[in-house]
Copies of this chain bind each other. A is one copy, B any other.
C-alpha cells in the first residue's frame, strides 16, 4: 500500500494542476509584456546617459535619487518616498598618475585609485615589490617591504565556472591589501584589476583601512598593465615608480534610499522587497553594476500595475544608496525595519549584472528553499534552471533575521567582470533582451511567492511541482 501511494504521488506530480496552468499563463503574460513593451532598457539608458555614474555623495548620486523618485511617481506606485541616510563621500581628485621607466622608455599605465584610498600628498616614489598574496608579505617581512610599493598580482582563477567564485578568491588583495602591506612598512599598493579579461582597462572598487595601521595609497592597474609591470620587474628588480594621487575622503553627506511600493490587498503589513543599488563607482555608467538591478526592480512594480496583478503582500521596490563603499543604505533600511517592527517575508536583490538570467540563489530556511524550488518547472520554458541555496545580496543582507527569505537573481556570470567597476560598464554593453528577461524572471518569482507564500507554497495539494 505504501508503495502504491508512492507510485500514485509520483503520477500526481506529472499532472499540472489548474493553479499551475493559471501560473504558466501569468508568467507568459509577464514575459510578453516585458519583451514587447518593456521600459527597463530605456530607463537604463536615461540613468546611464542623463545621470551617468553616481558614487555616493556625488552630485550625480543626488540626480539619480531624483530620477528614481520621479520615475516611480510617474508610474503611479501607491507610495513613493525617500529614506534619509548619511553616506561617506570619497572624491577621486584630478591627479591620478603612475609612471615608471622600463629600459629607456617611460611607461604610464592607466590606473584608478581604489575607492577609499588616501592620496599621495605630492609625488610618491618607491621601489616595487611583486607579491601574490598576504603569505608572501609574511615571508618577505619588513626587511624586504619597508619603504616599498607592494604590487599584488594574483589573477582571478579562470577555471572556476562562476566568475564570482574567482572574484571571491582574489578580492582580498584589493580590499585589505593596503593595510596588510602597511603592517610591513609598505608606502603604497598597486593591485591587479579583478577581471578575467586581458585588456588595458583598470577596475576600481572598495578598499578599507585597518584601525591602528598607517593609511597608504592604493591603486588598481589593468591586467595588461600588471603583466607589463611584472615583466619590467624581471628586467629590473630595483624598478622604481612614482605615484601621484589627489583622491581624498570628505565629511559624510546626506543621501537617500529611494522607495516605491504597491500596497498588498490581503496582508498590507507584510512586505516583500525587490531592489538593487542606485549608487555606482565613479567610472563608466554603472550600467550592469547596478543600473540593471535598479531598472529591473522598478520594472517589477510597473509590470504588476500594467498587468493589474494585485499583490496580497505589499511589494516594495528599494533603490539602495551606497552599496559600493559602505552599504549604509542596506544597513539603514534594516535598522528602520527593526525600529518600526515591520514584517518582511522576502527580499530579492538583482546585483549581478543585466545578463541572461539562469535562476535564483536562496538564503533562507530549507522550507523556503523548497518552496522556491517547487516553482522551478514554471521557469523551464524561460531556460532558468538554477534554484539553489546561496547568497542573496549585499543590500538585503542586513535584513537577515532567521525568518525572512533572501533571494539573489542569478544571471550568467561569464561577462560580469569584463565591465565591473570599470569605464566599460556602459549602457551599450547591456543587451536589451537579457536585461528584460531578468526583469521578467524577477517579477515572476515575486508573483509566485506573493501568491503562495512560503507556507502555502509547500502544500503540494494546492501547488504541485
Which of chain B's residues have a CB closer than 8 A to the CB of A462?
none
Please determine whether A414 and B31 come into contact, CB atoms closer than 8 angstroms.
no
A11 within 8 A of B: no
A415 to B433 CA separation, bound complex (whole angstroms): 8
Distance (Å) between the CB of A32 and the closest chain B CB?
5
Q: Which of A12-20, A377-385, A394-402 contacts B (4 or more CB under 8 A)?
A: A377-385
Q: Which of A356-405 contact B (CB under 8 A)?
A: 356, 358, 381-383, 385-386
Which of B35, B159, B197 has a CB less than 8 Å from the CB of A158? Answer: B35
A434 to B412 CA separation, bound complex (whole angstroms): 10
A196 within 8 A of B: yes
A414 to B412 CA separation, bound complex (whole angstroms): 12
A412 to B383 CA separation, bound complex (whole angstroms): 9
A437 within 8 A of B: yes
Which of chain B's residues have a CB closer than 8 A to the CB of A385?
383, 385
Which of chain B's residues have a CB closer than 8 A to the CB of A415?
431, 433-434
Q: Which of A410-449 contact B (CB under 8 A)?
A: 412, 414-415, 418, 431-434, 437
A461 within 8 A of B: no
Which of chain B's residues have a CB closer than 8 A to the CB of A32?
159
Please determine whether B386 and A414 come into contact, CB atoms closer than 8 angstroms.
no
A94 within 8 A of B: no
Which of chain B's residues have a CB closer than 8 A to the CB of A161?
31, 381-383, 437
A455 within 8 A of B: no
Which of chain B's residues have a CB closer than 8 A to the CB of A356?
356, 412, 414
Distance (Å) between the CB of A427 and the closest chain B CB?
13
A414 to B6 CA separation, bound complex (whole angstroms): 41
Which of B159, B414, B437 has a CB less than 8 Å from the CB of A36? Answer: B159
Which of chain B's residues have a CB closer than 8 A to the CB of A4?
3
Which of B196, B197, B381, B433 has a CB less than 8 Å from the CB of A414? Answer: B433
6 nearest A-B residue pairs (beta carbon): A3-B3, A385-B385, A35-B158, A414-B433, A32-B159, A35-B159
Given contacts A161-B381, A161-B383, 9 further A-B contacts (CB under 8 A): A3-B7, A35-B158, A158-B433, A161-B437, A356-B356, A356-B414, A383-B386, A414-B433, A414-B437
Chain A positions near chain B (C-beta within 8 angstroms): 3-4, 6-7, 31-32, 35-36, 158-159, 161, 163, 196-197, 356, 358, 381-383, 385-386, 412, 414-415, 418, 431-434, 437
26 A-B pairs in the complex with CB atoms less than 8 angstroms apart = A3-B3, A3-B4, A3-B7, A6-B7, A31-B161, A32-B159, A35-B159, A36-B159, A158-B433, A161-B381, A161-B383, A196-B433, A197-B432, A356-B356, A356-B412, A356-B414, A358-B383, A383-B386, A383-B412, A385-B385, A412-B412, A414-B437, A415-B431, A415-B433, A415-B434, A418-B431
